[in-house]
């Protein structure tokens, strides 16, 4: 894959995990929380359209931008009350050309093969992802993409109609997160979650040109103040059933090169939209690597 594609992918929420081998076990989940807001049927695969667009530019200096777009079908197979498996298919990768449009990226075939090679099992208790489990040591960039999809799939509210502040762990790190109920429809609820990115812990492996060191002091400031980041998602959830859609917007402004909103800026837009469902095949259980859904060295 071209270095520039790897660099753009690294601007997305990068997470590494050191897995621990757990031989010959059948369950990814270590516990199973009773479902109160979600109801996914065992033996069913829920199919979602997933898309993420990255755009990096020097705001205020040029109208040119470097763009990267990833599209794929995300299939979520329900293995049990708190067990699911994520598989990807029909993956495409595009980047900007000299005319400002998009073209198929060099190395797209290798990229597709890496993402679609194996399913990623994970524990899912009433909207929360606790563990991810894989039978092979996947490349970090493969895990990053899959963790990004699971982050869009996650909702940690106790009640979809009640605002709530939580500490949530996903591909971004462990962050203070505000959930707000913004629309109470007859069939579905819409909620908005906003992350306080400067509060995020376990984020030291976020890839920038700066060398990071672990910082674990008891402080509201845990993130890198040189990077101004906003992260907001809207989720639509079919009442008592399944996630219909997630749309996230993220902005990164590198402060040393910025003047107000001008400077080196990366915009990320992520969408996960329910498409259809089908009866499942069977994802083989057996030995796997288990790790927490969190950034680790």
**For the ranges 76-90, 112-126, 206-220, 239-253, which has the lowest average pLDDT?**
206-220
> For residue 133, is pLDDT > 80?
yes
Assigned domain for 65 exists: yes
Assigned domain for 168 exists: yes
pLDDT of 123:
92
Assigned domain for 216 exists: yes
Model confidence at 259, in pLDDT bands (50, 70, 90)? low
Domain at 245, CATH number: 2.30.230.10
Higher-confidence residue of 189 and 140: namely 189
pLDDT of 269:
96
Mean pLDDT to the nearest integer, 68-85: 94
Cα–Cα distance, 194 to 118 (Å, whole number): 32
> For residue 89, is pLDDT > 80?
yes
pTM for this structure? 0.81
Domain that holds residue 199: 3-292
> For residue 58, is pLDDT > 80?
no
Assigned domain for 297 exists: no
Assigned domain for 286 exists: yes
pLDDT of 96:
84
Record the tokens describing residue 168, joined without a space. 């949530």
Q: What is the DSSP string of 149-213?
A: HHHHH----S-TTS-EEEEEEETTEEEEEEEEEEEE-SSEEEEEEEEEEEEEES-TT---SSPP-
The separation between CA 55 and the C-alpha centre of its own chain, rounded to angstroms, equals 17
Element at 146 (helix H, strand E):
helix 140-153
How many structural domains is the chain composed of? 1
pLDDT of 234:
98
Give the DSSP letter of residue 255. G
> For residue 207, is pLDDT > 70?
no
């Amino acid at each position: 894959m071209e270095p520039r594609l790897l660099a753009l992918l690294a601007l997305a929420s990068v997470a590494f995990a050191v897995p621990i081998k757990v031989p010959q076990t059948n369950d990814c989940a270590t516990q199973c929380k009773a479902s109160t807001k979600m109801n996914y049927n065992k033996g069913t695969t829920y199919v979602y359209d997933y898309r993420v667009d990255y755009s990096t530019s020097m705001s205020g200096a040029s109208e040119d931008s470097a763009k990267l777009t990833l599209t794929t079908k995300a299939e979520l197979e329900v293995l049990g009350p708190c067990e699911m498996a994520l598989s990807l298919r029909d993956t495409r990768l595009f980047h900007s050309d000299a005319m400002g449009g998009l073209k198929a990226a060099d190395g797209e075939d290798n990229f597709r093969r890496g993402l679609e090679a194996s399913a990623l099992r994970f524990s899912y208790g009433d909207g929360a992802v606790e563990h991810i489990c894989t039978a092979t040591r996947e490349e970090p960039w493969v895990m990053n993409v899959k963790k990004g999809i699971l982050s869009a799939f996650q909702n940690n509210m106790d009640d979809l109609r009640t605002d709530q502040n939580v500490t949530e762990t996903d591909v971004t790190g462990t962050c203070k997160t505000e959930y707000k109920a913004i629309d109470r429809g007859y069939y579905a609820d819409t909620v908005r979650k906003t992350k306080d990115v400067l509060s995020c812990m376990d984020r030291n492996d976020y890839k920038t040109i700066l060398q990071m060191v672990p910082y674990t002091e008891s402080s509201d400031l845990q993130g890198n103040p040189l990077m101004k980041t906003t992260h907001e998602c809207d989720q639509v959830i079919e009442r008592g059933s399944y996630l219909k859609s997630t749309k996230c917007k993220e902005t990164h402004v590198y402060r040393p090169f910025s003047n107000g909103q001008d400077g080196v800026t990366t915009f990320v837009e992520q969408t996960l939209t329910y498409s259809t469902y089908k009866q499942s095949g069977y994802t083989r259980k057996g030995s796997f690597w288990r790790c927490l859904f969190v950034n680790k060295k």
